[in-house]
Homo-oligomer: A and B are copies of this chain.
C-alpha cells in the first residue's frame, strides 16, 4: 500500500506517515527505486499499535521505545491498551457526571464545590506509564481492498440513485427499508456512527444554510425528504 491508501484507511495524514518514517517509528517495509513508501500488513499492525498508544497519551518517543523493546508482545500490549481504554471510559463517565452536576448548579438547583467542578480533569501524569514500564522495561528497552474509498464511493452512488428512484414508495416498504439498511451498514463500515452524532447532523442542516443551498441545487424538496427520512429513521431506532 502506498501512502495515500494508508492515510485514507487509517485516518492519519500523509505527513504523519512521513514523520513517523523520519523519526524511525514506522519504517515502510518496502521502498521503490523512486523512493515511494510501500506499507505491508505488518506495518499496518504496527500503526494500529502506535495509534492506540498515542490515543492513550504516550509520546512518540516512548512508543518507539515500547515497540522496539525485545520483551514487547503484541497481545499483552493489546490487553494493556484495553485496560487503559476502560480507565479512560470511566474517566469520561466522571466528566459526564461533573457536567450534569454543573448544569444543575448553573440552574441554581444545586451547589458545587470548586473541587467537584474539576473532577475527571486530572491529566497531570500518564497513569499508564507505570504499568507499561513494569511490562516492557525502563527507558530504551529499548489484505485489503484495492481502493477502499472508490469502492465505497460507487456503492454510495448506487444507493443514492436507488433512493431517488424509490422516493414514491412507502418509506416503510421492504424495498425502502432494505435500501436504508444497506446504506446504514455501509456508513457503519466507513467509520463509526452514533445516533447522537446523527441527530447533531440534522440540527446542523437546520442551522447551516450552506447545507440547505447545496442540497437544493439538486432538486426541490430533497432537503425536506432527507430530513424526514432521517427523522423517521432515528425515531424507530429507539
Contact = CB atoms under 8 A, between A and B. Distances in A.
Interface string A53-78: 00100000000000000000011001
User: Does more than half of chain A's interface fall in helix, strand or loop, or is it mixed?
Assistant: helix
A163 B191 contact: no
B183 A172 contact: no
Nearest to A199: B234
A119 B191 CA distance: 6
Contacts of A183: 156, 159-160, 163, 177-185, 226, 233
Contact of A78 (B102, B155, B215): B102
22 contacts: A48-B117, A52-B95, A122-B192, A156-B183, A159-B177, A160-B163, A160-B178, A160-B182, A163-B166, A163-B169, A167-B167, A170-B170, A173-B173, A177-B233, A181-B183, A194-B198, A199-B201, A202-B227, A202-B232, A211-B224, A216-B221, A227-B232
Given A165-B173, A223-B225, 6 more contacts: A78-B106, A83-B196, A90-B192, A162-B175, A183-B226, A193-B198
